């Protein structure tokens, strides 16, 4: 664009009668003219966008420094022994060590519908402490292997029917949301197997409980064991040409002769007599349904990442955006 000085000089040199008109109208005065309404609206929109962007950048910077970088990450321990690390943006990381011999371990962590968690775990357990002790005495290999979660355990259908969570794998880690009264048998429809590193959205309020997927003795399963034990005794009679006085209980010597615990998986040894079926056998395990859990040996360390539900509000977008950005970056680095 030519300057005013160059325009005047060019006009004089050409010696023409041209007139020079200089419009010294102010920029804003032109914008407010009726014919420039569209330009005025565009200008207002541009200014508004610039102001909003500046405010968003400044408030986001303040939020990042105050609520993320300078967030006080002070760990606490709840009454169940879980170590809770508070994190920015209404998040928590929880470390919890539990014993697989406990059918349902209470983490003491209260969750609400809409919360999202991600569970990772390590460690392992042996599912037959008596067999492990006997193998050590005999300097022999244990009948059942150590479960360490590095490989997926193959679960046959017969075993699956007896497990606490029948749709899962034997030895896998389970979770459930339960009320303040603990896990009830009716809660079995809510049992879920944990897939490590997979995000879980909580569907109901409650307390988080953890367990391993082992055999849980109901009345029907105990009866099945009793029937199998009777069949084993009958087979032993045919093979060894002997006769038991009862198929419900046998002496300790007879129990050893038929192979003991290597032959019979479920029995009740009250000192002098070994009950393998019948009413006393049934009643004992009705009162002790956790028999297969009680002989588990090991520890499992669980890390629970909790993203609490964000309450809807004017400034909640900053928390959501930061969470999404951090989770996306961490997911990319993890993969």
Give the pLDDT confidence score for residue 332 in this predicted structure.
81
Q: Where are the chain's structural domains? A: 23-69, 75-216+294-334, 219-289
16-34 pLDDT tens trace: 566 656 555 566 666 666 6
The radius of gyration computed from the CA coordinates of the chain, to the nearest angstrom, equals 37
Q: Are strands 273-275 and 192-193 parallel, antiparallel or unpaired?
A: unpaired
Give the pLDDT confidence score for residue 112 in this predicted structure.
93
- Point out which residues pair with 96 in neighbouring strands: 302
Mean pLDDT of the chain: 85
E runs forming strands in 153-296: 173-178, 192-193, 199-201, 206-212, 249-251, 268-269, 273-275
| Fold for the domain defined by 75-216+294-334 | Jelly Rolls (2.60.120)
Give the pLDDT confidence score for residue 101 in this predicted structure.
93
Q: What is the DSSP string of 264-331?
A: -SS-EE-SSEEE-SHHHHHHHHHH-TTHHHHT-EEEEEEEEEEEPPPPP-TTHHHHHHHHHHHHHHHH
Q: Side-chain half-sphere of 46: how many Cα atoms within 13 Å? A: 6
Phi, psi of 16 (to 5 degrees): -105, 170
Contact 246, 224 (CB under 8 A): no
Identify the CA nearest to 160 among candidates 86, 221, 103: 221
Give the pLDDT confidence score for residue 327 in this predicted structure.
78
> What average pLDDT does the segment 202-221 reach?
94
165-179 pLDDT tens trace: 999 889 999 999 998
In Å, how far from its chain's centre is CA 167? 17
What's the whole-model pTM score?
0.78
Answer whether residue 335 shows pLDDT above 80.
no
State the alpha helices, DSSP H only, in 123-195.
129-138, 157-160
Kindly state the DSSP code that residue 185 receives in the 8-state scheme. Answer: G
């Amino acid at each position: 664009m030519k300057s005013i000085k160059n325009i005047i000089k060019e006009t004089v040199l050409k010696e023409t009668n041209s007139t020079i008109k200089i419009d010294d109208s102010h920029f804003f005065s032109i914008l407010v003219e009726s014919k420039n309404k569209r330009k005025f609206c565009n200008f207002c929109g541009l200014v508004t966008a610039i102001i909003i962007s500046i405010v968003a950048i400044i408030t986001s910077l303040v939020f990042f420094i105050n609520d993320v970088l300078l967030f006080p990450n002070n760990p606490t321990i709840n009454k169940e022994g879980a170590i809770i690390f508070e994190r920015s943006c209404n998040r928590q990381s929880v470390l919890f060590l539990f014993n697989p011999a406990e059918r349902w371990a209470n983490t003491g962590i209260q969750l609400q519908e809409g919360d999202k968690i991600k569970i990772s775990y390590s460690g392992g357990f042996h599912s037959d402490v008596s067999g492990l002790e006997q193998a050590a005495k005999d300097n022999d290999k244990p009948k059942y292997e150590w479960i360490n979660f590095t490989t997926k355990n193959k679960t046959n259908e017969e075993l699956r029917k007896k497990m606490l969570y029948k749709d899962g794998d034997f030895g896998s880690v389970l979770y459930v949301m339960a009320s303040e009264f603990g896990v009830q048998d009716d809660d079995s429809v809510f049992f879920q197997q944990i897939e490590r590193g997979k995000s879980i959205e909580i569907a109901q309020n409650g307390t988080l409980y953890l367990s391993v997927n082992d055999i849980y003795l109901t009345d029907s399963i105990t009866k099945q064991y009793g029937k199998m034990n009777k069949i084993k005794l009958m087979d032993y009679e045919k093979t060894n040409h002997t006769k038991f006085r009862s198929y419900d209980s046998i002496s300790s010597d007879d129990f050893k002769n038929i192979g003991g615990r290597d032959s019979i998986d479920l029995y009740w040894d009250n000192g002098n007599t070994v009950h393998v079926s019948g009413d006393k056998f049934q009643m004992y395990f009705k009162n002790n349904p956790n028999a297969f859990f009680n002989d588990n040996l090991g520890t499992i360390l669980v890390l629970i990442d909790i993203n609490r539900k964000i309450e809807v509000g004017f400034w909640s977008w900053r928390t959501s955006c930061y969470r999404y950005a951090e989770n996306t970056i961490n997911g990319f680095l993890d993969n």
